[in-house]
A and B are shown apart, each in its own frame.
Chain A
Amino acid sequence: MAYAIEIKDLKKRYENGFEALKGIDLNVDEGDFFALLGPNGAGKSTTIGILCSLVNKSEGQVRIFGVDIDKDFAKAKQYLGVVPQEFNFNVFETVFNVVVTQAGFYGIPLDVAQTRAEKYLKQLDLWDKKDVQSRMLSGGMKRRLMIARALIHEPKILILDEPTAGVDIELRRSMWEFIRQLNEKGTTIILTTHYLEEAEQLCRNIAIINSGEIVENTSVKALLKTLSSETFIFDLDSPVTEIDIDGFETKLASDGASIEVAVNKGQALNDIFTYLESKNARVVSMRNKSNRLEELFVKLIKGN
């Protein structure tokens, strides 16, 4: 399969000597839904910045659909659509003009640009705001405007840098549904997010970056299989005074109404239910203490 993005030994050293990227290697398959995760300052935005020419790399090679950015960056840029973390449109332009003007920068004729702008603004529920100055939009609308703008030249890769930061739950869901449909139609999606449950639900492959180095690069499924232990919380209908389940590490909440149980790989949840039943404790709800990917993420970052 062709790679949408190939990164080899990519390094970025800033003028103050800070090494943001220490020689990363990364491949993203065509059509993938890929997550690039990492704590703040890990090098995610620097990597994305280099891909879309907002940051000059120090060393290394980047190919976008086989096009080396050192040889023909203009062609490579045609493949990319970018939705940055911060709003970066002219706030005094109307919504329609923001999108149509961006099309012009890609050499798209005005009539085609206007037709596409209507299509994407309608898909993203912004058509009724087309004549409004973009500074008047709500935060969620501004995010959707940046998605419409990034899609106007119909790129083969869409990069979304923290697209759901500050977006309410309903809007986030509709935004992901839209992005998922784009991916199903063949657009390669690269995503950075702090909401790890989003990455777990949406992405097929994942890379975790920390201190300028890739510490994990695999499929989400494979990564989750490495999870050796999960912590579950059981809420009980009446408090218990003590808990001691053979083979399990447990913790009782101060009010006795809920218990935390660490379940290692290979252990059965049935044993916990059997124990609770023997104590006449009814389970009214059960949940993971934290997102599974989040547990792995924290382990990997700490381990690094």
Chain B
Amino acid sequence: MSTGEIWIAFYTILRREIRRFMRIWPQTLLPPAITMSLYFAIFGNLIGSRIGEMGGFSYMQYIVPGLIMMSVITNSYSNVASSFFSAKFQHSIQELLVSPTPNWVILAGYVLGGVARGLCVGLTVTILSLFFTKLHLHNLFLTVLVVILTAIMFSLGGFVNALFARSFDDVSIVPTFILTPLTYLGGVFYSISLLPDLWQGVSMLNPVLYMVNAFRYGILGVSDINITWALVIISVFIVVLSYVGITLLNRGRGIRN
């Protein structure tokens, strides 16, 4: 395929992915908006007002970046995992496999589709948060960079999950038993400085902690971790997951006989 044809194939996958999550917006865009509004109202307003300040900011302001990041992570992941697995399940993935579209374009198209949903939800949640508190932006470039890299990373994770998955249960196992605990324990609701030393050390093994804190640093200018380390860790995950994803695709894992 020529470069122009490859671009058309990539754009076709991306457009179809965006069309998919926009068509089913009551399942994809509305739930995170409602859930995060409840978090803002209950944890931020009701409970937060009794907690007081954290990291020099009101509790509401402190949790907003974490909640935005949480919605980006879960939506990027689940978009690719469910979309690609559904395509496998109803065999419509064969439309792509019989075409000359290179595997890396298939991977890029699905991942960018996940990023698009993650950013769409992230933006919606950010707008909703402005009804509850004021946000100032410490570093726009870092904020945008971290949110995009994180969305890419978790979209890749969703893709690998979908390749291995044999049933819809397999698609929900990772978000339920791995992603959700890591996110809740990843500094969304608290600073790890509140934890005993041992648990601070354990928390440092959680990759989500780095993403949440780097994003929080971009917005509020406060972080529990070193930002450079955060960017390195996210980049390493992206490289590793990309390699795993493309290798599995080339081998036809779960999609070719």
Contacts and interface: CB of A to CB of B under 8 A. Distances in A.
A290 B6 CA distance: 51
Interface stretch (B96-104, B126-134, B148-156): B96-104
B98 A77 contact: yes
A107 B98 contact: no
B96 A105 contact: yes
A53 interface: yes
A75 B8 CA distance: 16
Interface string B1-24: 110111011011101100110010
Interface in A38-82: 46, 49, 52-56, 73-75, 77-78, 80, 82
A250 interface: no
B228 interface: no
B99 A84 contact: no
Interface in B234-257: 252, 256-257
Contacts of B4: 107
Contacts of B8: 104, 107-110
Given A77-B100, A84-B94, A56 B252 contact: yes
Interface stretch (B32-40, B85-93, B159-167): B85-93
The secondary structure that dominates the B interface is helix
Contacts of B13: 104-105
The secondary structure that dominates the A interface is loop
Contacts of B169: none
Interface of A: 14, 46, 49, 52-56, 73-75, 77-78, 80, 82, 84, 86-93, 97, 101-102, 104-110, 149
Given A46-B257, A107-B100, 16 more contacts: A52-B97, A53-B98, A54-B97, A56-B257, A74-B1, A88-B94, A101-B12, A102-B95, A102-B99, A104-B11, A104-B12, A105-B95, A105-B101, A107-B8, A109-B8, A149-B95
9 contacts: A49-B257, A88-B92, A88-B94, A90-B92, A91-B90, A97-B19, A107-B1, A107-B100, A110-B8
Interface of B: 1-2, 4-6, 8-9, 11-13, 15-16, 19-20, 23, 87, 90-92, 94-102, 252, 256-257
